[in-house]
């Protein structure tokens, strides 16, 4: 990270913007219940950070989800969401009835943990979808 | 009352930027005008009391502007004609 790349503007913008975008995305994800935000916005912020890193560093980017892996990760996020819903059914409740999750906490905390789980799934799905669109537009689809 | 004037002004600016984005010949200028349209949409969502929708619109506006510029880079022409 000590090596200079591109121009001064790119260098400064990357070094100051991307860490704050990543931290803000985590804040939006975790704190999304009491303030504006949630899974979609956090995923879009993660996607913006990865796309910005690609735009500055090109092929030498270190925050990357290469090629067709992006689509697979997006499917993994949706699968995570679905598995939580299915897990609630297997525990004897309805689809996404978080109160039936077999955890040690009381009902309210189980609700919070279940909602946080599906928000994490949505975040992964949205982030990987944005990176997949970016890969398709810049012709990096086939790189594995 | 001041909120009504504010919303009217933002709506007029939205119409101006939207029509200008449709009519302008330079594609890069159309993208920039569309992102201005998106920003005014953020402002009108905020004045209507929906900060969640405004946040989503701001994030999606940034992502779509980036994607449009990358697609324009691959198109290898700048003019709509």
A1 — pLDDT class (breaks 50, 70, 90):
very low
pLDDT at A123: 93
Q: Predicted ipTM?
A: 0.81
Beta-carbon separation of A36 and B55 below 8 A? yes
Q: Is B63 in Cβ contact with A38 (below 8 Å)?
A: no
What's the confidence (pLDDT) of residue A126?
Answer: 93
**What pLDDT shows up at residue A6?**
66
Per-residue pLDDT of chain B (81 residues; tens, 9 = 90+): 888 999 999 999 999 999 999 999 899 999 999 999 999 999 999 999 888 899 999 999 989 998 898 888 877 777 766
- Where do the structural domains in chain B lie, given as residue ranges? 2-75
3-state helix, strand, coil in chain B (%, to 5): 85, 0, 15
CB B34 within 8 A of CB B21: yes
Give yes or no for residue A20 having a pLDDT over 50.
yes
pLDDT at A5 over 70: no
CA end-to-end span of chain A, whole Å? Answer: 25
Q: With bands split at pLDDT 50, 70 and 90, how would you rate the model's confidence at A66?
A: confident
Least confident stretch, A16-25, A56-65, B11-20, B26-35: A56-65
Q: How far is B46 from chain A (nearest CA, A)?
A: 11
| B67 contact A CB<8A | yes
Residue B26 backbone dihedrals phi, psi, to 5 degrees: -75, 125
A130 and B CB contact within 8 Å: yes
* Residues A88 and A100: beta-carbon distance below 8 Å: yes
- Alpha-carbon distance B64 to nearest alpha carbon in chain A (angstroms): 10
Q: Which residues of A touch B59 (CB under 8 A)?
A: 41, 44-45, 48
Partner residue facing A44 (CB), from B51, B63, B74:
B63
Contact B11, B44 (CB under 8 A): yes
The sign one gets for the Cα dihedral B39, B55, A129, A45 is positive
Residue A139 buriedness (CB in 10 A; 0-12 / 13-18 / 19+): exposed
Residues in chain B: 81
């Amino acid at each position: 990270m000590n090596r200079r790349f591109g121009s001064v503007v790119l260098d400064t913008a990357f070094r100051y913007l991307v860490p704050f975008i990543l931290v803000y995305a985590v804040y939006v994800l975790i704190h999304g219940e009491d303030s504006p935000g949630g899974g979609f916005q956090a995923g879009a912020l993660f996607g913006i950070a990865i796309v910005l890193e690609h735009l500055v560093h090109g092929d030498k980017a270190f925050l990357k989800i290469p090629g067709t892996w992006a689509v697979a990760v997006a499917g993994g996020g949706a699968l995570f969401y679905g598995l939580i819903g299915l897990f609630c059914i297997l525990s004897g409740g309805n689809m996404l009835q978080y109160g039936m999750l077999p955890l040690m906490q009381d009902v309210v905390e189980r609700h919070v943990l279940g909602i946080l789980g599906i928000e994490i799934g949505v975040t992964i799905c949205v982030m990987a979808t944005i990176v997949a669109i970016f890969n398709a537009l810049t012709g990096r689809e086939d790189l594995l | 009352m001041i909120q009504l004037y504010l919303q009217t002004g933002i709506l007029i600016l939205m119409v101006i930027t939207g029509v200008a984005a449709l009519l302008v010949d330079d594609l890069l200028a159309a993208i920039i005008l569309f992102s201005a349209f998106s920003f005014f949409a953020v402002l009108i969502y905020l004045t209507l009391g929906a900060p969640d929708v405004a946040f989503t619109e701001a994030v999606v506006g940034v992502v779509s502007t980036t994607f449009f510029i990358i697609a324009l880079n691959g198109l290898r022409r700048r003019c709509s004609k």
